[in-house]
Amino acid sequence: MRGWRRSAAIAMAGAGVLALALSGCTPQGSVSIDVPAQVDAPLPEATATQLQDAVTAAMTATGSTGAIVGVWAPWSGTWVTGLGTQGPGGSEVTPDLEFRAGEITGAMTCDALYGLAADGTLSLDDPIAKWVSGLPGYDDITLRQLCDGTSGLSSYTSVLEGTVLSNPDRVWNPRELMAYGVAGPRLNSPGDAYGTSATNYVVAGLAVERATGESLSAALAERVWQPLGLTATSLPAPAPAAAGAASLPGYWSQPSAEGVWNCTDPADFTVMSSSYGGAASGAVTNITDLGRYAQALASNALLPDDSDRFANPAPVGADQPTWFTAAGGAYQAGSLIGQFGWTPGYMAAAFADPATGLSVAVVLNNSGGNKNTGAWLAWQLAAIASKAPAAQGQTTPEAGLPWTAEQMRDSIAANAICAAPAG
């Protein structure tokens, strides 16, 4: 992959959301995000209409009552908004509401792990058993392979989804989650192939705690959220709670025995224990923080210029497009870098292009549909926004994406679990 750091800063603004400062003051100093400067203006009405139509169609397809979305096209403008309602018949969604970040949390866990490697506390080539006890016989897996997704460890979520569905308040010990993942059959030999697994991030989180002597929450605050000024992002205590004092309610539709999805009265998963997601998907955030984080992740803002975090991406799968790869706790989709995922009640995605600064963050408040839906929607929005006309004095970047908005729209529609109301 090419180098992605550039010497321009961004100030995010848009649609009633105040701009965030570009740097956070920490004992180590300030961290800036090197992407092109953002035009302080709304996106053109025609572009915003296309974006809104895409989001509302995805809401219908997933049975989501609400969504929050942010799109930042530095050469053109911003679009940050809430759509729909906070529940069936609920109040309007506003863009300041908090929500669970899903597997984007895993990228943050890997931020901390790579940071510890950069300061010499550990080596990414260390076997996981050096930093996480209770893993005898796993010296063939390295810390780097956890974040690259090539460890071969099974995901605990495939075993425990039914349990969390019936008891979302249960508090889980991360070692218990790790045990379920380790007990499953290996997906592949270490380093051979990419495989999605929440267990990777849980083990990485335990290694971060061992290396720092801190809780994962404290380590992420010190090494990720505070340096980037992410004031609405945290890893909550394990006690059952909503995703913040003012949170977007989350729902999880389920199919009947006949395969018909409950789209009118989905199960409410607003309140649950963050411990089930933990280092993999337990963080909460808001859309402005998430957009900023996407740019920081894509531009490698938290690591030295010579970081090899994204140097050797692996294909996500033989059945996936060649432009879709993974490395370092993140995905590359064409020129976009980011993460996406699922946690009970929410599907979220955040991607950015480090060269053009184009950034997209989105959350849907129903997790019942295909778990790739968040990514498909983010990529659809990126395709639309990439064609936004330049503001006065700006130039539209010469950058293309290897998919069209229509292709992503069709992927969402083909996997819809809910239909538009009759009439």
Longest dimension (CA), the chain: 63
pLDDT at 19 over 80: no
Confidence band of 400 (pLDDT split at 50, 70, 90): confident
Distance CA 209, CA 131 (A): 9
Q: HSE-up of 378 (CA within 13 Å, CB side)?
A: 35
Alpha carbon 199 to its chain centroid, in Å, reads: 16
Average pLDDT, the chain: 92
Q: What is the mean pLDDT of residues 262-286?
A: 97
> Does residue 397 sit within a domain?
no
pLDDT at 136: 84
Confidence band of 2 (pLDDT split at 50, 70, 90): very low
Distance CA 308, CA 200 (A): 19
pLDDT at 52 over 90: yes
- Domain total in the chain: 1
Distance CA 262, CA 417 (A): 9
> Does residue 11 sit within a domain?
no
Do residues 154 and 203 make contact, with C-beta atoms less than 8 angstroms apart? no
pLDDT at 262: 94
pLDDT in tens, 218-261: 999 999 999 999 999 999 999 999 998 899 999 999 999 899 99
Global model pTM greater than 0.75: yes
Tokens of 162: 């039914």
Contacts of 259 (CB under 8 A, 6+ apart): none
- The residue with tokens 């209770």 is 134
pLDDT at 188: 94
> Does residue 198 sit within a domain?
yes
> Does residue 335 sit within a domain?
no
> Does residue 374 sit within a domain?
no
High-pLDDT (> 70) share of the chain, %: 92
pLDDT at 9: 31
φ/ψ of 30, rounded to 5, equals -95, 150
pLDDT at 422: 60
High-pLDDT (> 90) share of the chain, %: 88
pLDDT at 7: 29
DSSP 87: S
> Does residue 377 sit within a domain?
no
Contacts of 387 (CB under 8 A, 6+ apart): 47, 396
Confidence band of 423 (pLDDT split at 50, 70, 90): low
> Does residue 16 sit within a domain?
no
Residue 16 gets the label, from left (phi > 0), alpha (psi -120 to 50) or beta, of left
> Does residue 416 sit within a domain?
no
pLDDT in tens, 81-105: 999 999 998 999 999 999 999 999 9
Residue 20: closest CA among 10, 35, 28: 10
Other CB atoms within 10 A of residue 41 CB: 14
Q: What is the mean pLDDT of residues 266-277?
A: 97
pLDDT in tens, 137-163: 899 999 999 999 999 999 999 999 999
Give me the amino acid identity at 252: W
Burial pattern 279-309, b for ≥16 Cβ within 10 A else e, equals: bbbbbbbbbbbbbbbbbbbbbbbbbeeebbb
Cα angle value 241/245/250 (rounded, 5°): 55
pLDDT in tens, 311-359: 999 999 999 999 999 999 999 999 999 999 999 999 999 999 999 999 9
Distance CA 11, CA 20 (A): 7
Lowest mean pLDDT among 18-22, 256-260, 331-335, 380-384: 18-22
CATH code of 163's domain? 3.40.710.10
Give me the domain span that covers residue 156.
45-329+340-361
